[in-house]
Amino acid sequence: MDDTTAGTTTAGTAPQQPNQAGTADEARRVDGVAQLRAVSHPTRLRIISLLGGAGPMTTGAVAEAIHETVGTVSYHLRLLEQNGLIDKVPSPDGDRRKSYWAVPQDGITVNLDRHTLPTSGEALLHAARQNRDRAYDRFLHAAQDLPQEWSSARDIDFVTRLTAQEWSTMLDELAAFMGRWEAIGRRHTDGDDSRMVMTVLTSFPYEP
């Protein structure tokens, strides 16, 4: 989830594709104070990241994946749904007794601009950093038990000189690039030798 600037996107971002109703979705905008407060929680950000990578899941499956109680996860899912951050979707197997949850087809756009309440923006940035740091800690803890090809992280960083317009264009191109790979990820299923991969792109004016 990239959340440091206005017009930023989060889990589930991909080129527009037909949703279950056969229409194309646009990235869901998050710019209200209540929405920002709802998403500014490490557990809820973790749920959004999980659903973005794994696809629709039941409450019980989410709880099992993140090692929380069903009651706790149910509370967070309902709060996310009430604020338009996730949707309840039909069961993939057609079983109407099951409730499945999913992020919007084309992701979530989080708008942190000069009109955003400073406390709301800071809370979201803090929660996002916590979410990433905890995810990396979980990877380090599990790395020794993973196959060799999955046991190390890849770091990419560079500093360059750009105009404000060039910087904006670069970010748009990076978002489109990652969207293509997220679309590829949606074709995978459990058991096909794939794993969820978190990629974090953070860009900011560099101060030496």
Q: What is the pLDDT of residue 18?
A: 31
Tell me if 62 is assigned to some domain: yes
CA distance 138 to 124: 21
CATH code: domain of residue 144: 1.10.10.10
pLDDT at 142: 92
Summarised one tens digit per residue, pLDDT across range 153-200 is 888 888 999 999 999 999 999 988 988 998 898 888 888 999 989 898
Question: 208 in a domain, yes or no?
Answer: no
**In whole numbers, what is the pLDDT of the chain averaged over residues?**
81
Residue with tokens 């996730």: 86
Structural domains counted in the chain: 1
d(CA 107, CA 86): 9
Determine the longest span between alpha carbons in the chain, in angstroms.
57
Instruction: For residue 192, tell me if it sits in a domain.
Output: no
Distance, in Å, from the CA atom of 103 to the CA atom of 46, rounded to the nearest integer, reads 12
Q: Are 16 and 26 in contact (CB under 8 A)?
A: yes
**Across residues 74-96, what is the average pLDDT?**
90
Model confidence at 62: pLDDT above 90: yes
User: 76 is in which domain, residue-wise?
Assistant: 8-185
* Beta strands per DSSP E along 92-180: 100-102, 108-110
In a domain, 205, yes or no: no
Task: Give a yes or no: residue 178 inside a domain.
Answer: yes
- pLDDT grade for 68, boundaries at 50, 70 and 90: very high
Q: Do the domain assignments include residue 190? A: no
User: Both tokens of residue 143?
Assistant: 């790395």
Indicate whether 19 belongs to any domain.
yes
DSSP 86: S
Residue 1 resides in a domain = no
Q: What is the pLDDT of residue 119?
A: 67
Mean pLDDT of 41-64: 92
pLDDT grade for 143, boundaries at 50, 70 and 90: very high
Confidence grade of residue 38 (pLDDT, cut at 50, 70, 90): confident
